[in-house]
Structure 1
Amino acid sequence: MKKTKMLFATLLVLTIALLSACGNNNAAAPSENNGGAGNAATGTNGGEGNANQPENVKIRVGLVGGGMTPIIAQIGINDGSYEKAGITIEKQSFTSGADMVQALVGGSLDIVLGSYEHVLRQQKNGLGVKAYGEIYNGVGYSLVVKKDAPFQSLEDLKGKTLAVTKVGSLSDTGLREGLKTVNIDGDKDVQIINGGSGATMLAAIESGKAAGGMVSEPTISQMVATGNYRVLYDPPYDFAGITVMAKTDWVDKNQDAMKRFLQVSNEVNERVQKDQASAVEAMLKEFDQIPADVMETAVKNQLAKVPAGLKVSEEGAKNVSNTQIEAGVIEKEIPFADTVDLSLLP
C-alpha cells in the first residue's frame, strides 16, 4: 500500500507537470509566418569560414507528451544530438494527436511525431501529408491489472469495465483489436471508459472502477515495480504507431532538413540500441520523477519496438489502415506509395 501511495504522488506530480508544459507550449505555438525550417534553412549558426560547421536549420516538431513512444526524438533532444548536427529543435507538446496534426496542417509545425492514422485521415481530406519514417512500431499502450486480479487472459474480461486514455484514441484502438482476437465485442461484451493517464488511470484501476487500464511507459514500468500490478496484455502486432510525418510541400522545400533529421534520429537509435545506459540518462531529463532502475526497464521496453532503419513496414501500415476502415474513418485502403515516402532515410 505504501508503494502504491508513493506511486500516486509521483504520477500526480508528473500529470500536473505535463499539463503545465502542454499548456505553455500550446500557448506559445508560433504562427504560420513565424519562422520554421523553410525560413531558417538558408541561415548559418557557426560563422563564416568554418567549413566543418553544419548549416543550421530550425525545425518545429510536435509530439504528444506524457509518454515514451517518441523516445528516439526525446533522446536526441535531451542529449544534444540534433543540436550537434546543426538542427535547432523547437519542441511543442500536445495532449491530443488530433490537435497536434491540426497545428501541422495549419503551418505551426514542420514535423509531427504521431500515429499513421493521422496520415490516412489527412490523405482522405485531400491534404498532402506523408510519413517519412517511423520511430515506434506498436500501439504504445499495454493493459495493466492488479497483480492479484483473477484475470489470466483477455478472454476473462468479458462483462468487465476497462479504461482507456480516451475513447476513440490509440489506446482504445489497441484494446479493441486485442479483444477481437478472443471474440469479445468492444461495444457489447465490455464497457470501455475514459481513464485518462498517470494518476487518474491508476486511481481507476486501484479503486476497482476499472478491471484494467491501457497504460504507456514509463507508467507501466513504474506500476509493475511496486509489485502491485502486472501487464495482462501487450499488443504484439506491427502497428505504425509513431511515424515522422510532414506536409509534402514543406518537405519539397526542405529536403536537406528532413534528411538530416532522419539521419540523426537513425544514428541515435543505432547508438542507444548498443548503449541503453546513455538512453536512460537522457530520458531521466524528460521524466525526472522516475527512479533510474524503473527508467532502465522502460527504456528497454521502448527500444525493442523501434524499427531498424526507422522504416515504416507495409504490414504495420496496413494494420493501422484496417482499424480506420473498420471505424469508418476511411472507406478503403489507401496505397502505401501514396502515404509513405522512405526515400529520405539514410
Structure 2
Amino acid sequence: MRMRAAIRSFAFISLFAATSAFAADKVTIMVGGYEKQIYLPAKLAESLGYFKDEGLDVELLNEAAGVDAENEMLAGVVQGVVGFYDHCVDLQAKGKFVESVVQFSQAPGEVELVSNKYPDVKSMADLKGKNLGVTGLGSSTNFLTQYLMVKSGVQLADFTSVPVGAGATFIAAMQQDKIQAGMTTEPTISRLLKTGEARVLVDMRTVEQTKAALGGTYPAASLYMTTAWVEKNRPTVQKLANAFVKTLKYINTHSAEDIADKMPKDYYVGDKDGYVKALADGKAMFTADGVMPQGGPETVLAVLSGFSKNIKGKQIDLSKTYTTEFVKAAK
C-alpha cells in the first residue's frame, strides 16, 4: 500500500513539475490607452501571436492616462507599463528606479490642437489664460504642454491643465469649450481635423518636427518596468523584448494597411481610411529595433528640467532610466 501511494505521489509531483515547466509566463501590462496609435505595438504583438510564440501569457489592461498606469505598476498591480519614457526620468527624481526595456518610438506622436472657435491663437503664447486638455495631470501630455508653454514665455500659473483623456472625451471637452486647446494623439487628431473643429498648433508626429519643437529626438512610447522586477525576472523580460522587437520589425517592413488589418476594427472609430492614412504618415516615429535613440534621454531630461520643480537641481543618472541589453539580445 505504502509503495503504491509513494508511486502515485511521485507520479503526481512529476506531472506537476512537467506542467509547470511548460506553463506560460504570466505578465500583466498596463497600456496608457491601447487604441492610441502611439501604443500600437502592444496590441499588434498580441494580434500577431508574438507573445504566445515566446511562451508568454500577457494580459493587456487599458488605462486612459499614463500617470495612472505608472501608479498601478508602482503598487505592484501590473508588472509593466506601455507608456512614455519620460516617466522613468521623473520617477528617479522621486527616488523610484524604473527603466525602459524596449523603446517603441523616437517621437511623441503628439499634437497640440487648438479649437477653431479661437482663430486668433497662432502660437503657444496665445494660449495664456486658456484651459488646455491633457490626458491626466502628471501625464506625458501634461509634461509636454507645460514645457511648450514655459518655452513660449508663459508661466505655469497662467494657464490651466484639464484632464480630459483621449478620443471621445477629449473631443467632447473641445466641442463644449471646456478646453480651448489640448495635447492628443492619433486617431483623435484626424477626427477633429476632419470635422474642421480644430487645427494643429504644434506637431510632434515626426522626428524632424519633434526636433524643431523640443530641441532633439524625444524617445516616447516604451515598455517600462521597475528595475527591481527586471532584475528578478530577466528571462521573462527577454521574452517580452523578443516579442516587441519582432513587432517593431513588422511595423518597419509592412504597410500601414497591413498593420491596420491586424488591429481591432473599433480602433478605426468608423473611419478606416483615416486611420490608415494617419498610421502611414506617422509610423516612422517607431524605432526599427527597440533601441534607445542616441541623445534622446538627454532631450527628455532637458525638457523636464525646463518646467519641473521635481527635476530642477536633481542629479539624474540617465543610464539607469533605460537598458538596451534585452533588445540587443533579442532573436
TM-score by length of 2: 0.77
Of residues 300, 317, 329, the one that matches 2:310 is 329
Distance 1:75 1:155, change over 3 A: same
Distance 1:338 1:165, change over 3 A: closer
Distance 1:252 1:182, change over 3 A: closer
Q: Secondary structure at the match of 1:240?
A: coil
User: Which residue number corresponds to residue 141 of structure 2?
Assistant: 171
Shift of 1:156: 4.0
User: Which residue number corresponds to residue 48 of structure 1?
Assistant: none
- Does 2:321 correspond to 1:339? yes
Q: Secondary structure at the match of 1:162?
A: strand
1:252 maps to amino acid: E
Q: How does 1:28-107 map to 2 (within 5 A)?
A: 43-44=21-22, 56-65=24-33, 66-107=35-76
2:28 maps to amino acid: R
How many aligned positions are there?
297
Partner Cα distance (2:233, 2:80) in 1:
11
Determine if contact 2:28/2:61 at 8 Å carries over to the other structure. Answer: yes
Structure 1, unaligned stretches of length 5 or more? 1-38, 46-55
User: Which residue number corresponds to residue 298 of structure 1?
Assistant: 278
Partner Cα distance (2:183, 2:145) in 1:
7
Of residues 181, 203, 215, the one that matches 2:184 is 215
Distance 1:122 1:151, change over 3 A: closer
Determine if contact 2:29/2:82 at 8 Å carries over to the other structure. Answer: yes
Distance 1:291 1:332, change over 3 A: same
Partner Cα distance (1:164, 1:108) in 2:
24
Shift of 1:288: 5.3
Determine if contact 1:314/1:336 at 8 Å carries over to the other structure. Answer: no
- Identity of aligned pairs, percent? 23
Q: Secondary structure at the match of 2:104?
A: strand
Q: Secondary structure at the match of 1:70?
A: helix
Partner Cα distance (1:244, 1:286) in 2:
24
Deviation by residue 1:35-73 (Cα, 9 ceiling, x = unmatched): xxxx9996315xxxxxxxxxx433221211252322111
Partner Cα distance (1:187, 1:315) in 2:
31
User: Which residue number corresponds to residue 5 of structure 1?
Assistant: none
Partner Cα distance (1:126, 1:304) in 2:
34
User: Which residue number corresponds to residue 110 of structure 1?
Assistant: 79
TM-score by length of 1: 0.74
User: Which residue number corresponds to residue 28 of structure 1?
Assistant: none
Q: CA RMSD in A?
A: 3.0
Shift of 1:293: 0.6
Of residues 214, 217, 240, the one that matches 1:261 is 240
User: Which residue number corresponds to residue 180 of structure 1?
Assistant: 150
